Amino acid sequence: MTTTSRTTASEGDRVAVERSAHLTDPRAGATGREIAHQPTMWRRVAADVTARQDEVQRFLGPLLALDDLRIVLTGAGTSAFVGEILAPALTRQLRRRVDAVPTTDIVSNPQEVFAENLPTLLVSFARSGDSPESVAATVLADRSLDSVHHLIVTCNPEGELARVHGTDERSLVLLMPPETNDEGFAMTSSFTSMVLATWLVLNAGEQDVAMVERVAEAGATVLRERADTVAELASRGYKRVVYLGSGSLTGLARESALKVLELSAGDVVSYFDSSLGFRHGPKSVVDGASLAIVYLSTDPYTRQYDEDIAVELGDQMGKENVIVLGSRPSERLDSVWTLPGVEDAPDVLVALPFVLVAQLFALGASLALGLTPDTPSPSGQVNRVVKGVTVHPYDGR
């Protein structure tokens, strides 16, 4: 799934950027550009998956035919949240065990993660593939289990993870378009591209490949029609931001919360939870300077719980401080930011245009604070590729 040249954004993406002072602010840098080109990247990912369909199925087909196959989705930070979004959706679609386990948990506790010696497909997500835990997690899986295959989903062909697994017959490396190897500090297009590519190859649904165009257009609509509105929202000076969602959208809420924490250099405190779980204590985080953003599931049953918490928070916090995103309007809510054309999409795909709002908010908060989004932590306290990790020897006990 590799390409060798960097392409320009589609006409629709270009128009979206040109219409937004938010994205064209010189201080937005690579981060603004990488947020804006995501609909184009999603189309590229779908085309690349289609081109490699036979090769992918030769690798995955025999594994998915195993009744006792365990699928483990792993990565660190945002890459781990790729797995958290995918795991519920894949479990539902494939009707088999799919676990999202961060590489940080695998490296520190391999005996717990791999306590069951089952045939395993370890799906590793990594923007650069050079984080210390990335290769270490795959090595520990090989040492702990009798039968392991590796699906490597990464944006960097020169990264250690891609190089180590590129010639291994038990591994398949899926390279995202080179533009998705984000130059900015925060993962944006790398994140959404890895979610999409993995859903398409593991779900193997022709309908979802065809749906990508509608998802991309929904994303372009967010960029075109909401970017400056979100920038104004971010400029209000909220000190606490809460993201809520259910199922796959809980993982999205977690990634959304991380974005504003990263790009504000911790100045904006963020929190995430499931729509039902938020009442059980965490709602204490809400105060008079808080914003809540609620993601509505496309599943009619699940959506009821998302609407419940949105109504409750609107009554308590003021409706102007509660933003609700959905694929269609709600009879129970006065205002929903709706996305056209994706009413029948699964939550894992609706998550892609949804997260653009969170990325735009984080960018806006960073600019409002006078920070540089590409390097929001100039002191070096946190880095684009994590540093300072020591991977200790493991004797395989």
Torsion of CA 298, 299, 302, 306, to 10 degrees: 10
Q: With contact defined as beta carbons under 8 Å apart, do 346 and 157 qualify?
A: no
**Which of 277, 232, 226, 237 minimizes the C-alpha distance to 254?**
277
pLDDT at 7: 40
**Which of 203, 237, 225, 181 minimizes the C-alpha distance to 356?**
225
Residue 295 gets which letter from DSSP? E
Provide CB contacts within 8 A for 238, sequence distance 6+. Answer: 268, 289, 290, 291, 321, 365
pLDDT at 390: 76
Strands of the chain, DSSP E: 70-74, 98-100, 120-126, 148-154, 171-175, 240-245, 269-274, 290-295, 322-326, 337-338
pLDDT at 147: 97
Give the tens place of pLDDT for each residue, 199-217: 999 986 666 778 999 999 9
pLDDT at 78: 96
Provide CB contacts within 8 A for 224, sequence distance 6+. Answer: 12, 15, 16, 19, 20
Residue type, 362: A
Work out the number of other CB atoms within 10 angstroms of the CB of residue 387.
10
- Ordered per-residue pLDDT tens for the chain, 397 residues: 333 333 444 555 555 555 566 788 888 999 999 999 999 999 999 999 999 999 999 999 999 999 999 999 999 999 999 999 999 999 999 999 899 999 999 999 999 999 999 999 999 999 999 888 899 999 999 999 999 999 999 999 999 999 999 999 999 999 999 999 999 999 999 999 999 999 999 986 666 778 999 999 999 999 999 999 999 999 999 999 999 999 999 999 999 999 999 999 999 999 999 999 999 988 888 888 899 999 999 999 999 999 999 999 999 999 999 999 999 999 999 899 999 899 999 999 999 999 999 999 999 999 999 999 998 876 655 554 556 667 778 876 5
Sole residue written with tokens 């908060």: 365
